């Protein structure tokens, strides 16, 4: 197939009809966040509430489209387009949360270790949470982030953020609002609700924690006691333990010993090269950059929007990957792992920087939103394994559809009294995704694993005993 035709004016979109109208609203929200056009905290709060309303509107459109498909027994791209709009709207909520939390992964990642949470209906539980957040914010709890507006915050219902100098302090709460049935002898009595707020490991900033909130008098249908409360409390406790753990100090979480390590990396996102590549793609329709011997990125652009056929038919992608050398270093049998922006909806949280916060022109971000700009990242699995081995580790790659996530990494470490142990370092898939989506080289993964090894050697006596 012929290369993508070069076009300059960003006027088109891969969306049509209802999906187009919705993505245009997402774009308006995105431009406001990118420019951070807010005068007060109240403006940010209003932005958050309105974004949640847009997400609900999108979810309603998805439900209606599913119903239409069942009735008419037809299939087209309308449902997938609406689901992508929802993904973009949720990731915009993630971008807001990342911004308020100062991009602190130590706070964000532990709150994402849960299954996806659906967009809530506009009911008493949701309205009650909003009212509670407004009251607590007015009482000095800080700015509230509604987890419902995000995809990355999956534990608890809201996180309050206060900034003291350069330090951010957070409190995460779980809220439940239950309608209390009126007594039979007085069925016309005023509507009452029981509000339960759970804090794990946090103290309320005041002893008198009573307050009044106003809710719509129409009750929700009666429900059985929610058994999820106990499970959610355990998740909140686990997240808090990980957020508040001391560096290089063993602690117990979920019944097992764990260690929080933190280090510095010299690896940096290649924003200058990325901006140049985007400018070239907007001019010619195509560009690519090699991050290092393990990672490369390809940029495709069409002002009218890129179809799936245009992407898969672009012959230069394969030739550029081969010529980049990311397959020639290490064992080539493991091939490459690819990822795309915009990303498809998936079950696990996207634990990497939302593209709305990329250090690229706002127009390029809107190009990603509308499908005019697609970024294709390729990682050479063998090259990554070779780079890890270069800094003293042994690597095994089991047969898997997700080789980077299943990669096993070992190292010999010294224990008490000089005894040698073999340590295995896992769960590094998140850091590989950071490299791919934040345009960092494999040096970043090397630094992460070396930090983990150093931390393990420091804390081994406390883990296994002296």
Q: pLDDT at position 164, please?
A: 82
Report yes or no: 85 and 62 within 8 Å, Cβ to Cβ: no
Q: pLDDT at position 15, please?
A: 94
Neighbours of 404 (CB within 10 A): 22
Report yes or no: 397 and 388 within 8 Å, Cβ to Cβ: no
| Tokens read off for 396 | 């095994």
The rounded distance, in Å, linking the Cα atoms of 97 and 91 is 10
Query: Is residue 61 over pLDDT 80?
Result: yes
Query: Is residue 213 over pLDDT 60?
Result: no
Q: Which of 293, 270, 357 is nearest to 91 (CA)?
A: 357
Residue-wise pLDDT for 276-323, tens only, equals 999 999 999 999 999 999 999 999 999 999 998 999 899 999 999 999
Report yes or no: 371 and 302 within 8 Å, Cβ to Cβ: no
Q: pLDDT at position 237, please?
A: 65
Q: pLDDT at position 391, please?
A: 95
Q: How far is CA 14 from CA 61, 270, 299, 315, in A?
A: 18, 28, 16, 21
The rounded distance, in Å, linking the Cα atoms of 96 and 103 is 10
The rounded distance, in Å, linking the Cα atoms of 134 and 58 is 25
Please count the helices (runs of H) and the strands (runs of E) in the chain: 14, 13
| Tokens read off for 262 | 């933190």
Query: Is residue 273 over pLDDT 60?
Result: yes
Q: Which of 24, 91, 89 is nearest to 62 (CA)?
A: 89
The rounded distance, in Å, linking the Cα atoms of 373 and 360 is 12
Burial 328-340 (b: 16+ CB within 10 A, else e): ebbeeebebbebe
Mean pLDDT calculated for residue range 362-379: 95
Q: pLDDT at position 7, please?
A: 38
Higher per-residue confidence, 191 vs 57: 57
pLDDT grade, residue 416 (50/70/90)?
confident
Q: pLDDT at position 74, please?
A: 83
Residue bearing tokens 């439940």:
176
Residue-wise pLDDT for 245-259, tens only, equals 777 677 776 777 777
Q: 355 in helix, strand or coil?
A: helix
Q: What is the mean pLDDT of the chain?
A: 84
Q: pLDDT at position 154, please?
A: 92
Higher per-residue confidence, 117 vs 54: 54
pLDDT grade, residue 339 (50/70/90)?
confident
Query: Is residue 201 over pLDDT 70?
Result: no
**Would you put residue 272 in left (φ > 0), alpha (ψ -120 to 50) or beta?**
alpha
Higher per-residue confidence, 428 vs 88: 88
Q: Which of 367, 356, 363 is nearest to 303 (CA)?
A: 367
Report yes or no: 158 and 144 within 8 Å, Cβ to Cβ: yes
Query: Is residue 186 over pLDDT 80?
Result: no
The rounded distance, in Å, linking the Cα atoms of 279 and 425 is 39
| Tokens read off for 200 | 């794990």
The pTM for the full model equals 0.86
Long-range contacts of 390-398 (CB under 8 A, 24+ apart): 390/446, 391/446, 391/449, 391/450, 393/425, 393/449, 393/453, 397/334
The rounded distance, in Å, linking the Cα atoms of 65 and 23 is 16
The rounded distance, in Å, linking the Cα atoms of 433 and 440 is 10
Query: Is residue 457 over pLDDT 80?
Result: yes
Q: In the chain, pLDDT over 90 holds for what percent of residues?
A: 51
pLDDT grade, residue 233 (50/70/90)?
low
Query: Is residue 369 over pLDDT 90?
Result: yes
The rounded distance, in Å, linking the Cα atoms of 448 and 307 is 37
Which phi and psi (to 5°) does residue 132 adopt?
A: -60, -45
Residue-wise pLDDT for 388-405, tens only, equals 999 999 999 888 888 888
Mean pLDDT calculated for residue range 37-48: 95
Q: pLDDT at position 252, please?
A: 75
Ordered by start, the domain boundaries in the chain are: 17-244, 271-464
Residues 6+ apart with CB under 8 A from 315: 1, 3
Mean pLDDT calculated for residue range 355-364: 97
Cross-strand pairs, 420 = 414
Residue-wise pLDDT for 128-182, tens only, equals 899 889 989 999 999 999 999 999 999 999 999 998 877 888 999 988 877 677 6
Query: Is residue 94 over pLDDT 60?
Result: yes
Report yes or no: 144 and 159 within 8 Å, Cβ to Cβ: yes
Q: How far is CA 249 from CA 38, 138, 387, 433, 461, in A?
A: 40, 36, 29, 27, 11
The rounded distance, in Å, linking the Cα atoms of 156 and 112 is 10
Computed on alpha carbons and rounded to an integer, the radius of gyration of the chain in Å comes to: 25
Q: pLDDT at position 460, please?
A: 79
Torsion sign across C-alpha atoms 426, 430, 433, 435 = negative
């Amino acid at each position: 197939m012929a290369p993508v035709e070069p076009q300059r004016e960003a006027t088109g979109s891969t969306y049509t009809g209802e999906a187009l109208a919705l993505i245009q609203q997402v774009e308006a929200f995105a431009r406001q966040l990118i420019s951070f056009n807010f005068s007060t905290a109240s403006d940010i709060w209003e932005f958050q509430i309105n974004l949640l309303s847009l997400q609900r509107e999108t979810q309603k459109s998805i439900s209606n489209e599913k119903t239409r498909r069942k009735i008419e027994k037809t299939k087209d791209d309308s449902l997938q387009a609406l689901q992508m709009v929802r993904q973009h709207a949720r990731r915009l909520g993630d971008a807001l949360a990342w911004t308020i939390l100062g991009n602190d992964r130590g706070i964000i990642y532990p709150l994402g270790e849960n299954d996806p949470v659906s967009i809530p209906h506009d009911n008493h539980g949701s309205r009650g949470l909003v009212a509670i957040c407004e009251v607590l914010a007015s009482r000095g709890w800080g700015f509230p982030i509604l987890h419902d507006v995000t995809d990355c915050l999956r534990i608890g219902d809201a996180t309050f953020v206060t900034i003291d100098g350069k330090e951010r302090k957070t409190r995460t709460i779980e809220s439940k609002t239950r309608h209390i049935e009126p007594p039979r002898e007085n069925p016309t009595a005023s509507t009452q609700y029981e509000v339960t707020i759970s804090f794990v490991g946090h103290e309320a900033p005041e002893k008198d924690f009573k307050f009044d909130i106003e809710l719509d008098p129409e009750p929700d249908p009666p429900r059985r006691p929610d058994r999820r409360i106990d499970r959610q409390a355990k998740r909140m406790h686990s997240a808090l333990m990980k957020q508040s753990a001391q560096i290089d100090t063993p602690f117990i979480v979920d019944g097992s010993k764990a260690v929080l390590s933190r280090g510095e990396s010299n690896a940096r996102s290649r924003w200058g090269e990325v901006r140049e590549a985007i400018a070239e793609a907007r001019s010619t329709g195509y560009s690519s950059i090699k991050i290092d011997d393990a990672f490369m990125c390809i940029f495709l652009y069409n002002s009218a929007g890129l179809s799936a056929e245009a992407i898969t038919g672009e012959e230069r992608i394969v030739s550029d990957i081969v010529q980049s050398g990311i397959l020639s270093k290490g064992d080539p049998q493991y091939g490459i792992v690819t990822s795309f922006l915009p990303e498809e909806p998936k079950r696990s949280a996207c634990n990497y920087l939302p593209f709305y916060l990329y250090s690229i022109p706002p127009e390029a971000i809107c190009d990603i939103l509308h499908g005019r700009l697609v970024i294709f990242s390729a990682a050479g699995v063998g090259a990554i394994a070779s780079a890890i081995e270069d800094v003293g580790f042994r690597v095994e790659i089991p047969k898997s559809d997700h080789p980077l996530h299943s990669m096993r990494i070992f190292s010999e470490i010294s224990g008490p009294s000089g005894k040698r142990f073999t340590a295995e370092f896992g769960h590094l898939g998140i850091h590989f995704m950071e490299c791919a989506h934040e345009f960092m080289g494999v040096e970043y993964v090397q630094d992460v694993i070396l930090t983990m090894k150093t931390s393990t050697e420091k804390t081994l006596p406390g883990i296994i005993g002296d």
